[in-house]
Every structure is written in C-alpha cells, then in structure tokens.
Amino acid sequence: MAKNLKIIPLGGLGAIGKNMTVFEYGRNIMVVDVGVMFPENDMYGIDLVLPDFDYVVENQDKLRGIVLTHGHMDHILALPYLLRDVSAPVYGTRLTLGMVERILDEKNLLHQADLRLIEKGDTIHLGPYRVSPFRVAHSIPDAVGLVIGTPVGNIVHTGDYKLDETPAGGYTTDLEALRSLTKDGVLAMLGDSTNADRPGRTPTEQLVRDTLDELFTQARGQRIIIATFSSLLARLQEIIYLAAEHKRKVALTGRSLLQSVELARELGYLHVPEGLLVDVNANHVPREKMVILCTGSQGEPRSALNRMANGQHRQIRVQGGDTIIISGGTIPGNEEDVGRMLNRLFQRGANVIYGRLATVHVSGHGSRDEMRTMLETVKPKFLIPAHGEPRHLFLHAQLAREAGMKSENIFILNDGSQWVTDGNKAWLEESLDLDEVFVDGRLVGEIGEVVMRDRQRLSQDGFIVALIPVNEHHELAGEPQLVSRGFVYLNEAGDLLDAGREEIKRQVRNGAKNLRRDLEDFFYRETQLRPVILPRYIQV
C-alpha cells in the first residue's frame, strides 16, 4: 500500500523563531531545525519559548535524524531541550555543528550527542529520505537549504536565504546546484517568508562594506566602536579586513562575540591577520588606532555597548569624538531599548551612526523579487510559506499567485498543522494541539497562560493581600492588615489604605459574600486601578 508524506511545522509559522519541521513517511520521522523564539514584550519574565515537540518525543522510535540548516539560535537553540528526551543523529555543516557543540556543552549534553558533519555535495540517507544540502547566502556562513527526496517526490526546504550576488565571503546561494538537484521536479517547497513585505531585492552586503569603509575614512583620528550580532561572521570578517586596511587594531568585548570569534577562527570561517587583535585593555595602542567590536546592537541591558552607554563598562569609557556604529537591524520589540541606548551614547559625546542615517546593516533574508526568483527556480507544485509571521506567509502566498501558482496549491499552515500528500494531491489532516512552552529560569513548560495573565495584571496595578483576623465564629477579631506592592506608594497613601481597612471591617461585619469583589470595587472607585486582591482570613 502506498504511503503518504506528512509535513508538520512545530514552529516557524506565526511568530519569528523557534523553527522546527517534522517530516513523516510511514514509520520514519525526520526533523529539520530545532530552534527557539525569544520572548515578545508581553511574555512577562520569560527567557525563551520552545517549540512543543511532544509529538517527536512520543514517536521517538520513528526518529531517523535531525538536520540543521544553519547555526542561528532560532534554528538550533532548542536542541539541548529535545536531546534530553530523545536521541538521534544530528546533521549539520561544520560551523553549524561547532555552534551546536557549544550549546550542548553548556548543558552538559555534548558527550551523549551524535553529531554528523554534512558537506557540500553530500547526500545523506535517513530511512526513506535522501537529503541533499545546497549552499545559501545568509547572515551566517555555512548555511544551507535542503532538497529532500522522498518516495512521493522531492521537497525543497529553502532554509533562510537571500540571493545576494556580492555577499560577504563570496558564497552566494547556489541556484545551479538547486536546479540540478531538482531536475526531476519538485512536489513542494517550504520557503522563507521573512521579507515578504519588502518590495524589490535586499541590498547587497557589499553596500554595507562600502558604507563602513567610508565611515572608517571619516573617523580618521578617532576611536571606532562597532556593535553587531555575534553570529554575523561575514560582517565581522569585513570589519576585520577594513581595520587592517585602515591600519587599526581590533579589540573584542562581549561574551557571545568572543565565543563566536574563537569558534569561527578555529573552524576557519574567520581570518584574522597576524597581530591585528589586541586586548581591550591594550594601552599601547592609541585610541585613534582602535576598532572595538562589541555586542549590543539590540540595546540588550547587559550587553557591552549598553554598559558603555550607562558608564558601567569596566574597560571602555565612551568619550567625545568616538564614532559608534550600530551595524545590526533593530528586531521588532527592541526599538525602545535601542533608542534609549542611542540617547545615552550621544549624551556621552559620541558620534553615533545607526540604520536611519546610513546603510550600516542589511537583512539576511531575500525580499520579494528574490522570493519570486526562488519560486521560479524551484517550480514547486505546492508551496508552503514558512519562516514568518502570518502576515509574511500571506504575502508570500500572494506573491506566488502573482507568479502564476494556483491558490489551491498554496497552503498557509499553522504550527501543528498536518499537511499530507500522496505525491499528487495534498490536504490537511486534523492539527496537533500545541502549547507554548516557556522557559523561565529553571522551569521549562511549567509556566503557562494563567501565570502570564497574573504577571500582566500585577505589572499594571500591583496587588493587595488583605489579612483579616477572625475568631472561630468567623467574626472580626482584630485590625485587618494590608500587604501590598506595586499598587500605590504606601508611605503616601495612608488615607486610602485606612479607608480600605474600614471597608473590610464594614463588609465582614455585614457578612461579606464576596469580599474579593467588594474590595476590587472599592479600590476601583477610589483609584480607577484594578490591583490583584487576595483576602485571607486568619483564625486567631
């Protein structure tokens, strides 16, 4: 009996991040990427969001392998959480595996991991799947897309890509290899949708290099400080070469940057001319001969650049005349943090260059014209827009229709959707019921909507715990106490709290039926605020 292929995204749709896709054919499961999502501003106190991979854990006897497209955290950082529960070989390119080793090592899981290198031109066999990677240009080296041969047809998973013709490092997306791998036709494509709302093409990385070159020239006689993403190795390489050309030394600050540079040098992805790197304390190098590379392009509170902005960096004090370049786009939700950091850097007298002022960053994802070229190269029968929020998926679908695809061959999925094909037709089966899996401190998946709602409400108006002494007849037996934080400034709100205590006594004497609601009403009338109110009777 012919079997069907199922594709189930567990993440990567609906929110930027936590990419994870399940392929299932008969008793054979393969997983592509195991990433995390970083929390949105209304996910109070949350450190990370994981894909809900219960389905993989429950079916681990079928799991043939995990394939990673590249080393960004939204594609690999949930791996340690998954590998606590299941074991399977993990395939990736050299740099990707290098990054995986580091994150597994931090969780003491490296010794038990089965990591397997894939190289250009390889085809790996995982049960019924033949997986052939092809090189893509992205904001991290060694990124690949995948052509996945299955018994019902070829599936292309683009990974994250742009079609930059002059990328840093010189490796552009290998459309030739893709064409050759797909010459038998493509049944379905999962395509990167990130920039589906950007017309045209994403500017080339070469433009950033040229802009930086010009800024280096303008900054002659001044120190240069550049913040970028630590995984943006191609950018780091450009800056290192530019520093050498402009006869400057480079110092690094920020833990993730140091780790990233060390790893990339070990693996040969970053070439640093002899003697170029100096310690951040190097006093023998004059200021105007220094480039300081640091973390903090998102204004993250504890990043190196933000510590400089706040005057809290141990080694580096920003001074008048310093040129500071923010060479990283602002991730939505971080605008206020970045804005505040910029303000403080300017207040310290620095000359700060950021995205609005010059092309000091470009996206690692292709825009609409590149997405169209990809569609026309792959010519899939079915399209599954991937890697984006719903608006990006819908705009990707719109683009595909403009390119001539039939609406019924485009499938907008949700995380948990089960897309099924027999190689000819495709349809949806009942979705898996997925949870948001929050990581908060040491707790994984224990904090859900209830706690989130409470934190939201506490953040708005604080709380009042009312302690009400009663005797065995449930009669008031003393003065109520109010324990409160985040509601009003207690030292100045004596009258309000006194009135609150009187209200409690009045209600208890009248045989309060719902004291919590009575108090909510009372404090709302008085303040128009709605603190969380928790009355507790104390038997004395």
Contacts of a second copy in 340-399 (CB under 8 A): 342-344, 346-347, 351-352, 354, 356-357, 389-391, 393-395, 398
Question: Least CB distance from residue 446 to a second copy, whole Å?
Answer: 6
Question: Least CB distance from residue 77 to a second copy, whole Å?
Answer: 17
Map residues 309-338 to x or -, x wherever contact with a second copy holds by CB under 8 A: -----------------------xx-xx--
- Binding of residue 217 to a second copy (CB under 8 A): no
Can 70 be counted among the known catalytic residues?
no
Is beta strand 418-421 parallel, antiparallel or unpaired with respect to 5-11?
Answer: antiparallel
- Binding of residue 459 to a second copy (CB under 8 A): yes
Asked whether 497 and 480 are in contact (CB, 8 A), the reply is: no
Stretch that binds a second copy, among 66-74, 161-169, 437-445, 510-518 (CB under 8 A): 437-445
Alpha-carbon distances of 85 from 57, 80, 372, 479, rounded to whole Å: 7, 9, 39, 53
Phi-psi region of 246 (alpha: psi -120 to 50; beta: other; left: phi over 0): alpha
CA distance 22 to 40: 25
Find the binder of a second copy among 119, 407, 495, 540 (CB under 8 A).
540
Whichever of 378 and 466 has its CB closer to a second copy, that residue is 466
Q: Identify residues 467-486 at the interface with a second copy (CB under 8 A).
A: 467, 481, 483, 485-486
Find the binder of a second copy among 462, 476, 501, 521 (CB under 8 A).
462
Q: Identify residues 410-429 at the interface with a second copy (CB under 8 A).
A: none
The residue count of the chain comes to: 540
User: Which residue from 55, 93, 62 is spatially nearest to 76, judged by alpha carbons?
Assistant: 93
Q: Identify residues 508-537 at the interface with a second copy (CB under 8 A).
A: 526-529, 532, 534, 536
How many residues line the site for a second copy (CB under 8 A)?
A: 71
Asked whether 194 and 160 are in contact (CB, 8 A), the reply is: yes
In this structure, the number of other CB atoms found within 10 A of the CB of residue 480 comes to 20
Question: Least CB distance from residue 399 to a second copy, whole Å?
Answer: 11
In this structure, the number of other CB atoms found within 10 A of the CB of residue 338 comes to 24
Q: Identify residues 31-50 at the interface with a second copy (CB under 8 A).
A: 40-42, 44-45
100-117 in b/e form (b: 16+ CB < 10 A) is bebbbeeeebbeebebee
User: How far separated are the first and last CA of the chain, in Å rounded?
Assistant: 74
Question: Least CB distance from residue 114 to a second copy, whole Å?
Answer: 29
Q: Which of 142, 192, 322, 461 is catalytic?
A: 192
Whichever of 27 and 220 has its CB closer to a second copy, that residue is 220
Give the list of residues 6+ apart from residue 443 with CB closer than 8 angstroms, or none: none
Q: Identify residues 483-502 at the interface with a second copy (CB under 8 A).
A: 483, 485-489, 492-493
Find the binder of a second copy among 33, 52, 142, 461 (CB under 8 A).
461
Look at the block and give the residue holding tokens 């190689």.
Answer: 423
Can 192 be counted among the known catalytic residues?
yes
Map residues 4-33 to x or -, x wherever contact with a second copy holds by CB under 8 A: ----------x-------------------
The DSSP-derived string for 289-301 is GEEEEES-TT--T
Q: Which of 72, 365, 387, 392 is catalytic?
A: 365
Whichever of 241 and 463 has its CB closer to a second copy, that residue is 463
Phi-psi region of 299 (alpha: psi -120 to 50; beta: other; left: phi over 0): left
Whichever of 42 and 105 has its CB closer to a second copy, that residue is 42
Asked whether 290 and 251 are in contact (CB, 8 A), the reply is: yes
Q: Identify residues 184-213 at the interface with a second copy (CB under 8 A).
A: 197-199
CA distance 23 to 530: 48
Half-sphere exposure of 122 (CA within 13 A, CB side): 19
Asked whether 445 and 53 are in contact (CB, 8 A), the reply is: no
Question: Least CB distance from residue 462 to a second copy, whole Å?
Answer: 6
- Cα dihedral 177, 233, 66, 58 sign: negative
Whichever of 184 and 495 has its CB closer to a second copy, that residue is 495
Question: Least CB distance from residue 72 to a second copy, whole Å?
Answer: 20
Amino acid symbol at 280: V
Map residues 82-111 to x or -, x wherever contact with a second copy holds by CB under 8 A: ------------------------------
Residues annotated catalytic, as ranges: 192, 365
